[in-house]
Chain A
Amino acid sequence: MSLKDKLDELQQRGLAEIKKSNDLKDVNQVRVSLLGKKGPITEVLRGMRDLNADERPKVGAFANKVRDELTAALEQRREELERAVLNARLAKEAIDVTLPGTPVAKGEPHVIQQIIDQIEDLFLGMGYQVLNGPEVEEDKYNFEMMNLPKNHPARDMQDTFYITKEILMRTQTSPMQARTLEKHDFSQGPLKMISPGVVYRRDTDDPTHSHQFHQVEGLVIDKHVTMADLKGTLQVLAHELFGDKFDVRLRPSYFPFTEPSVEADITCFNCGGKGCGVCKNTGWIEVLGAGMVHPNVLKMAGVDPDVYGGFAFGVGPDRFAMLKYGVDDIRNFYLNDVRFLKQFTKKG
């Protein structure tokens, strides 16, 4: 048997053994037995000394080839087996991906806060300041400077929690407007502000009344502010809060601190303006009061009404939230049932 034949046979046998090996240990044993220092290939190579010089390189090359092929086969087999082991492990590790995810503790902003923030951001973007005033106010700022002198019949429209004759829980956030108007330096530019906050009325709590609720009042005073500007501003507000499809209409109304005074309605979100129970078949829903600031309000704050003028508006985030989400009881906002609070978490 020539060396070459021996090598041939060795290769056949080796490949068969590699194929038969079933785990990494087997593969290693086969490797040692075939390619080790005491293995048959080494032995064959050792026999090359007996060959003549012509044959030696040929057989040598052949022997290297056999060794390389066996090595490659061993490597391949090892990878196969490793992959199989890994796959088996991964298969064992499989989980039911439909089991629920681990809960994370996650808090949410109050729905009223969300609306206030939304209004604030809108007006900040239009160059308004946000001013928070005191909740306990003086009669002077809450009423008198709002053109509601002591005996004004419209005071009956707002039942007030008095602490003393002159000190009260603010019934609106507009006292902050009076405070700001008094101080504003118009040489530095127009006054554009909103004042959000809690207000109080002497009401018995029921589904539509709350002794505590929120208001955001806005004020713009400059040399050339028009009622058309008011209309446009309210339209922007309605679009921001409810969506572009909503129209705004103004109706005459009465507030002592504005003249002309208007109430603003928006398209009924429930029926889109066709008329339904929510809008009492009018297609419109009343959402806010507004108007051109009454000259007396300006005068009392030391602003010349012949030079400056502007508009004011007031919106109720509670009412907005009730309308927008169909909340049927205003008390829900202040009882803080977690199941209620967690309903207003959608941010997308």
Chain B
Amino acid sequence: MKISYNWINEYLDLNVSPADLAEKIERTSVEVDGVTQPSAGLKKIVVGHVLSVEMHPDSDHLHICQIDVGEDEPLQIVCGAPNIAKDQNVIVALPGSRIAGNVKIKKSKMRGVPSAGMVCALQEIGFSEDVVPKEYVDGIYVLPADATPGDEVYDYLGMNDSLIDLDVTPNRGDMLSLNGTLHDLAAIYDQPVELDQPNVKESGAAIDSELTLHVDADLAPQYRMRLVKQVKIAPSPMWLQIRLWNAGYRPINNVVDITNYIMLKYGQPLHAFDYDKFDGQDVYVRTATAGEPLTTLDEGEHELTDQDIVIADSNRPIGLAGVMGGLDAAITNQTKTVAIEAAVFEHDHIRKAAQRHNLHTDASQRFERGVNQAGVQDALDAAAQLMNELADGAVQTGTAVGSDNEPEPAVITISMGHINAVLGTDLTQAQVIHILQSLEFTVMAEGDTLTVTVPVRRNDIHIPADLLEEVARIYGYDELPTTLPTGRMTMGTLTTAQKLMRATRHSLEGLGLNQAISYALTTEDKAKMFTMQASEITKLAWPMSVDHAVLRMNVITGLLDDIAYNTARKVKDVALYEQGRVFYREDGNDRPSEEEHIAGVITGTLMPAGWNQPAQAVDFFQMKGIVEAYLQDMAVNGDVSFVANSEMPEMHPGRTADVLVHGHRIGFIGQVHPSIAKQFKIGATYVFELNLQAIIDMPKQENQYDLISRYPAITRDIAMLVSDETTNEEIMALIDKRGGAYLQSVKLFDVYDGVKVPKGKKSLAYTLTYQDKQGTLVDDKVNQAFDKVTQRLEDDLDAEIR
């Protein structure tokens, strides 16, 4: 809500600049989105009196005007506006002036005719089109007849005012009005504020004879109407138009403008009906019947539901309660009798109706947050009074009241001890009482206890904590001491799982992968890829887009999306890992279970080409090395093995392995199937995904000290021809098992299956290292052991030793 600095100053003697006032409001009551002064940036824009208007000889729409701008000689200005006429006072941008958007106006020629400036529309001096009175939207604006030529126009148009844009939090509905703001400022600046009391002049018959209200008090706890007859619909006076457009409202006519003005001032939405369009004298506040149609003021057509509250005559709805009036009973230029409605509607119905019909109006916003239920009659009276004063209307005697359930003010007790204990302050009772009284709360003190009665308009205050906030903010958050919690010591440590997750990240970063964070919401297709266990998908009920509609069941696809993003931007080498959750759901459960996973992807090369080394494209074994090193870092207790898996549809059937720890599958590694890579628009990519939760849960090895033998080690190399089907793992296992007591390690150092070996065979070569920790090993012992293992290789694996 935009609130006028000048308007505030009619009631309070603040003596602060608009910027300072805005800052004070922001620090004490609600957020401020900005402070604007409509005339800021404008220069040399004055009142001009049109002395004559002639058609331009070479144009069918330009006019040549002689305009008195308060100087000795009138200015000749060429103007294209259709509505310019002799004797008007208009807005003139002089040569050398600045208009909206910092545009400079210079002397010029228009189709050969000199033009010394420009006659302006309101939009051209910075008005938003939404607030320009309809009759001036497509032309220049006409200033009042008593404006003085040569004067700057700003004061005539209220443009020297400053407007503070309040971003009111949902709890502070009271701040959506001048009066509410004044109450708060009075407390902030510790000044009394005197608000006007309406004084309505009634005449004519008692309203009861002309209007009967039938109100469901559950829907509308308060519902009141006044009747004003013989109104003369006309434009509002300037002061009223200025108030409205500065607050962001378009002036329409005196009756409608008064309802908006009263809403701005009191925070009470009002609605003006054309009484003569009612069918009969009865007005109902009821729920709509499902399917009932209503055309609102904005010409929107709505099909109502039985949850909507409507205002209806005997025949049909004439308004969507608290949201917008109906077109049928709207005020027009022919309106003679106005029924003014002031009500309180049940906020939840209003909120839902506004959502349902997508009609978020200033009225609905205020009803949702709650209006001042003690001020409904005042607002109604003030509106009636103004219709009398500004539209010559005759206010009928009395108010029609359909419901009148004004709530009792909240009474809250709070102790001084509690206030200081929660705020961490040393406030005295006198200080607290003064603050609460400055907010116009009534306080009774009895010992340490305060009994506080809160005015009805502050519908956000119900419990002691609410009072604490009032005391704290008016006292000033800056004044609070700055301390840290004391009390019993607590240990801050990460859990084992958290530590392992951190270790996982550090390990993979050390191995060259960059951490990525991808989207966990993905497409159904991608959610189902690369899955490690059977699961139902989990879908969002109302996704924003198909790209993010299903919870992922793998981490890899997000990383492949990342690679695709990089690839599309010509980044060819991408090495990423991601630690995050996947979501598995069992049929029949609404809620999926969450499992921590760790996944990695590499495309291109991990080590880019340099001047001294060629790039080495990533392959299976590089990724495997990373996974092995990672699992070693995590110290999983159990043998890690890799078992070929040709069954995963998204993976290369010949280059994929399950990762097993102690025989349990914890994930997989391999090359993405080329057709899947193509689908993602990426090149050859190697990936792994592991169940991190399983790794967290596994038993771990402890670091331990092992004696480093001071006796020399002896090595023996062995090369052999074996069949293509024989795996390295089988050979290693056999050597390990049959290598004897002194065998310390076995290392593969060569694999060859080129032209020099027979078809169906391959050559593998290993280094066996022997060592005795207790003494110097003699060749004989090693030879014995080596011969034995050689024999077993020949016997068991049909190896041909070379």
**Closest B residue to A247 using CB positions:** B478
**Would A228 and B424 be within 8 Å (CB), given that A162-B540, A211-B544 are in contact?**
yes
Report how far A3 CA is from B172 CA in the complex, Å: 124
Answer whether residue B576 sits at the interface, using C-beta atoms and an 8 A cutoff.
yes
Mark the stretch among B143-151, B204-212, B249-257, B462-470 that contacts chain A: B462-470
Answer whether residue A329 sits at the interface, using C-beta atoms and an 8 A cutoff.
no
Contact of A107 among B423, B491, B512, B566 (CB under 8 A): B512
Nearest chain B CB to A69 CB, angstrom units = 46
Answer whether residue B321 sits at the interface, using C-beta atoms and an 8 A cutoff.
no
Mark the stretch among B7-15, B46-54, B607-615 that contacts chain A: B607-615
Mark the stretch among A55-63, A72-80, A150-158 that contacts chain B: A150-158
**Would A128 and B465 be within 8 Å (CB), given that A153-B351, A229-B483, A337-B569 are in contact?**
no
**Would A107 and B485 be within 8 Å (CB), given that A136-B551, A336-B517, A336-B518 are in contact?**
no
Of residues A189, A251, A252, which shows the largest number of chain B Cβ atoms within 10 Å of its Cβ?
A: A252
CB contacts (< 8 Å) of B491 on chain A: these are: 127
Mark the stretch among B492-500, B525-533, B723-731 that contacts chain A: B492-500
Report how far A224 CA is from B420 CA in the complex, Å: 11
Contact of B170 among A198, A203, A254 (CB under 8 A): A254
Answer whether residue B543 sits at the interface, using C-beta atoms and an 8 A cutoff.
yes
CB-based contact A252/B473 at 8 Å: yes
**Closest A residue to B510 using CB positions:** A107
Task: Count how many chain B residues have C-beta atoms less than 8 Å from C-beta atoms of the other chain.
Answer: 100
Nearest chain A CB to B131 CB, angstrom units = 23
CB-based contact B515/A108 at 8 Å: yes
Mark the stretch among B22-30, B153-161, B262-270, B751-759 that contacts chain A: B22-30
Answer whether residue B34 sits at the interface, using C-beta atoms and an 8 A cutoff.
yes
Report how far A291 CA is from B23 CA in the complex, Å: 21
Answer whether residue B385 sits at the interface, using C-beta atoms and an 8 A cutoff.
no
CB contacts (< 8 Å) of A200 on chain B: these are: 520-521
Answer whether residue B85 sits at the interface, using C-beta atoms and an 8 A cutoff.
no
Answer whether residue A164 sits at the interface, using C-beta atoms and an 8 A cutoff.
yes
CB-based contact A134/B515 at 8 Å: no
CB-based contact A112/B517 at 8 Å: yes
Of residues B423, B485, B491, which shows the largest number of chain A Cβ atoms within 10 Å of its Cβ?
A: B485
Of residues B469, B491, B538, B551, which shows the largest number of chain A Cβ atoms within 10 Å of its Cβ?
A: B469
Answer whether residue B347 sits at the interface, using C-beta atoms and an 8 A cutoff.
yes
Q: Within residues 445 to 491 of chain B, which ones have a CB less than 8 A from any CB in chain A?
A: 463, 465-466, 468-469, 472-473, 477-478, 480-491
CB contacts (< 8 Å) of B488 on chain A: these are: 189-190, 222
Answer whether residue A49 sits at the interface, using C-beta atoms and an 8 A cutoff.
no
CB-based contact B28/A124 at 8 Å: no
20 additional A-B residue pairs with CB within 8 Å, beyond A113-B517, A164-B541, A254-B170: A99-B611, A103-B607, A107-B512, A110-B517, A113-B515, A124-B492, A128-B490, A136-B594, A153-B351, A162-B540, A162-B541, A190-B490, A192-B492, A223-B487, A226-B422, A228-B424, A252-B169, A260-B468, A295-B465, A338-B514
Q: A residues touching B (Cβ–Cβ < 8 Å)?
A: 99-100, 102-110, 112-113, 117, 120, 123-130, 132, 134-136, 138, 151, 153-154, 156-157, 161-164, 166-167, 169, 189-190, 192, 198, 200, 202-204, 211-212, 220, 222-229, 231-233, 235-236, 249-254, 259-263, 280, 282, 292, 294-295, 309-310, 333-339, 341-342
Q: B residues touching A (Cβ–Cβ < 8 Å)?
A: 23, 26-31, 34, 169-172, 347-348, 351, 355, 368-369, 421-425, 463, 465-466, 468-469, 472-473, 477-478, 480-495, 498, 502, 505, 508-521, 538-545, 548, 551, 559, 562, 565-566, 569, 571, 573-577, 580-581, 583, 590-592, 594, 606-608, 610-613
Give 7 pairs: A residue, B residue, CB < 8 Å, sorted on A.
A109-B515, A127-B490, A212-B520, A251-B31, A334-B518, A335-B562, A336-B565
